[in-house]
Structure 1
């Protein structure tokens, strides 16, 4: 009896906890913890009606989708794509493009940390496609004390502060560059800057 139940769980890839998501009779009479005790052998006997109700829960379910073993090499590929694009799980999912049912931010975070041995092939291929179509993240430059001093001095010489400097540049400046951001460079709140942001500011100050 125990092996029949194990076989159905392996076939479908559906754990006993999924019973909690059902509205059927099985949820009213059987708890996932009880099923786990059957499977582990901790409980030696089972009510036949309860056991048959469990099997009836799994029998109509389809076979599990083909899976991909999450080898260290495959995890390296996924993490490399995350690092290349600078786009983490939450931002990746924000695109909302045909996201597989099982995929959410917590699942992806745990997956990238190597906490799963495999994942549905559909999810793996979706991740490769979703990250693969994104551009490289903008290069970032460390805002050293010397660089910040040079920027501050150049602004003083130009008689301009961060907000005045950007006045009239809404159409030409890189996305995300604001006076508040430049101010955070100067006061040390921000330790790095996007290369394109820094280049734009330095060009304005040189004119």
Structure 2
């Protein structure tokens, strides 16, 4: 196969576009080439860095056109701003759906869009997002109906936990978010991660009842320990 040896100048406009495409995509030269089967012969990440740094003044036309085409096809990466986090949190409270249920609403599914990723946006541990991921999540939340009001179950009786919290959607979602983020159920957390350290009176059935039965109040000490314990566990999946 003949290889085109025609060369073109690396102009200032080309350099600026190369830098812009890398910044917007979040994909560097090495990642751009990785796994591609049609990379022009002789093209490597060092070649692309040379163009960007202007240490070379010309490029093979076929190589430059291939790089520009591939970078333009990459989905842009954008910042997850505090304003976007507030909107996602507010929509989750309004709809009452969990990140897992939210992702299940998105059809067709998007590659690498997982419940854990949404949780990391909300927590601020992941500060960027693919534009298509963010758009799909916001679109799904904005059209989701309001959560149906659930009848509060009154707490009957007395116990040693005198300080109690009014249980609302924010408290419930805080539990669900940590469960989704870690991928660890309450029973697993208590049995395998905190054996011998669980406060007296707390069990997995109680935590499940908080999430599913919507009580009026919960014991502050037990609830706060549960949230803190879940938050101390690592993410289930670090992949972007």
TM-score, reference length from structure 1: 0.51
- Does the 8 Å contact 2:78/2:129 carry over to 1? yes
Aligned residue number for residue 182 of structure 1: 118
Note the C-alpha offset of 1:179: 1.0
Looking at structure 2, the residues matched to 85 and 106 of structure 1 have their Cα atoms a distance apart, in angstroms, of 19
SS class of match (2:87): helix
Runs of 4+ that moved beyond 6 A: none
Contact 2:33 2:45 in 1 (8 A): yes
Match of 1:93 among 7, 30, 33: 33
> How do 1:31-110 residues align onto structure 2 when only pairs under 5 Å count?
67-76=7-16, 78-79=18-19, 82=22, 87-94=27-34, 95-101=36-42, 103-110=43-50
Structure 2 stretches lacking a partner, 5+ long: 145-240
- Out of 90, 104, 126, the position equivalent to 2:63 is 126
Q: CA RMSD in A?
A: 3.2
**Does the CA contact (< 8 Å) of 2:120 and 2:126 recur in 1?**
yes
Aligned residue among 145, 155, 160 for 2:82: 145
Change (3 A) 1:69 1:155: closer
Larger Rg: 1
Q: Which has the higher helix share?
A: 1
Query: Which residue matches 1:61?
Result: none
**Counterparts of 1:150 and 1:192 in 2: how far apart (Å)?**
16
Which stretches in structure 1 are left out of the alignment for 5+ residues? Answer: 1-64
Instruction: Compute the displacement of 1:139 (Å).
Output: 4.9
Does the Cα contact within 8 Å between 1:143 and 1:191 map onto a contact in 2?
Answer: yes
What secondary structure is seen at the aligned counterpart in 1 of 2:129? strand
The change in CA–CA distance for 1:66 and 1:164 in structure 2 (over 3 A counts) is: closer
Q: Secondary structure at the match of 1:193?
A: strand
* 1:40-89 deviations in Å (ceiling 9; x for gaps): xxxxxxxxxxxxxxxxxxxxxxxxx6654434355345445656766532
Distance 1:68 1:148 in 2: 45
Whether 2:93 is the aligned partner of 1:156: answer: yes
The answer to whether the 8 Å contact 1:93/1:99 transfers is: no
> Aligned in 2, Cα 1:118/1:204: closer, same or farther, shift over 3 Å?
closer
